[in-house]
Structure 1
Amino acid sequence: MDHKTTTLQLKQYKCCVVIPTYNNPKTLAKVLDGVLKFTDDIIVVNDGSSDSTSEILARYPQIITINKAKNTGKGSALKIGFKHAVSLGFEYAITLDSDGQHFPKDIPQFATALNTSENKNILIIGDRNMNEADVFAQSAKGNRVSTFWMYAATGLRLRDSQSGFRLYPIKSMDDIRFMTATKKFEFEIEAIVKSYWSGIEIIHVPIDVLYDPVERVSHFRPFMDIARMVVLYTWFLLVRLFYITPGHLFRKLKSKGFKRFFIEDFLRHQDSPKKKALSIALGVFLGLSPLWGFHTVIVLFLAILFRLNKVIAFAFSNISLPPFIPFVLLISLQVGHWVLGIESNYTIDDIRENFDMVQHLKSYLIGSITLSTVSALVFGIIGYIIFKVLDRKKTPSNG
Structure 2
Amino acid sequence: MTQTITQKMEALRCCVIIPTYNNEKTLTRVIDGVLNITSNIIIINDGATDGTAEILKNYNSLTHVHIPKNQGKGNALRNGFKKAVEMRYDFAITIDSDGQHFPEDIAVFVNLLETSEDKNLLLIGARNMTQMGVPKKSSFGNKFSNFWFWFETGIKLQDTQSGYRLYPLNVIKDITFFTKKFEFEIEVIVKAAWRGVNVMNVPVQVLYDETERVSHFRPFKDFTRISILNTWFVLVTLLYIKPRDFIRSFKKKGFKKFLAEDFLGVYDSPIKKAQSIALGVFIGISPLWGFHTLLVIFLAVALNLNKVIAFTFSNISLPPFIPFLLLASVQIGSWITGSDFVISMDLINENFEIIKHLKSYIIGSFTLAILAALALGFVGYITFSILDRKKVKVA
TM-score, normalisation: structure 1: 0.77
Alignment of 1:259-278 (within 5 A): 259-267=256-264, 269-272=266-269, 275-278=272-275
Aligned-partner Cα distance in 1 for 2:239–2:226: 20
Alignment of 1:189-208 (within 5 A): 189-208=186-205
Aligned-partner Cα distance in 1 for 2:269–2:126: 33
What is the CA distance between 1:74 and its match in structure 2?
A: 0.5
Alignment of 1:204-223 (within 5 A): 204-223=201-220
Structure 2, unmatched stretches of 5+, are 335-341
Aligned-partner Cα distance in 2 for 1:139–1:362: 40
Q: Counterpart of 1:95 in structure 2: which amino acid?
A: T
Counterpart residue number, 2:161: 162
TM-score, normalisation: structure 2: 0.78
Which of 268, 277, 280 matches 1:280? 277
2:305 is aligned with 1:309: yes
Counterpart residue number, 1:52: 51
Deviates more, 1:279-288 or 1:254-263: 254-263
Aligned-partner Cα distance in 2 for 1:144–1:300: 23
Q: Counterpart of 2:85 in structure 1: which amino acid?
A: V
Contact 1:147 1:157 in 2 (8 A): yes
Deviates more, 1:38-47 or 1:362-371: 362-371
Aligned-partner Cα distance in 1 for 2:331–2:159: 51
Q: Counterpart of 1:262 in structure 2: which amino acid?
A: L
Cα gap change, 1:11 to 1:346, in 2 (>3 Å): farther
2:221 is aligned with 1:229: no
Q: For 1:156, what is the secondary structure of its paired residue?
A: coil
Q: Counterpart of 2:266 in structure 1: which amino acid?
A: H
Q: Counterpart of 1:220 in structure 2: which amino acid?
A: F
Contact 1:275 1:309 in 2 (8 A): yes
2:29 is aligned with 1:30: yes
2:2 is aligned with 1:6: no
Q: Percent identity?
A: 49
Aligned-partner Cα distance in 1 for 2:86–2:100: 29
Contact 2:13 2:90 in 1 (8 A): yes
Cα gap change, 1:274 to 1:206, in 2 (>3 Å): closer
CA RMSD after TM alignment: 4.1
Structure 1, unmatched stretches of 5+, are 348-355
What is the CA distance between 1:281 and its match in structure 2?
A: 3.7
Q: How many residues align?
A: 383
Which of 177, 186, 209 matches 2:183? 186
Alignment deviations for residues 150-200 of structure 1 (CA, whole Å, 9 cap, x no partner):
33333322222221111111122222232x1x2222211222222222221
Deviates more, 1:27-36 or 1:381-390: 381-390
Alignment deviations for residues 54-93 of structure 1 (CA, whole Å, 9 cap, x no partner):
2222332212222222212101110111122112211111
Aligned-partner Cα distance in 2 for 1:100–1:253: 48
Aligned-partner Cα distance in 2 for 1:388–1:105: 45
Counterpart residue number, 2:111: 112
Alignment of 1:366-385 (within 5 A): 369=366
Q: Counterpart of 1:106 in structure 2: which amino acid?
A: D
Q: For 2:44, what is the secondary structure of its paired residue?
A: strand
Q: For 1:59, what is the secondary structure of its paired residue?
A: helix
What is the CA distance between 1:383 and its match in structure 2?
A: 7.5
Aligned-partner Cα distance in 2 for 1:297–1:67: 51
Deviates more, 1:230-239 or 1:49-58: 230-239
Alignment of 1:294-333 (within 5 A): 296=294, 300-301=298-299, 309-312=305-308, 315-316=311-312, 319=315
Contact 1:337 1:363 in 2 (8 A): yes
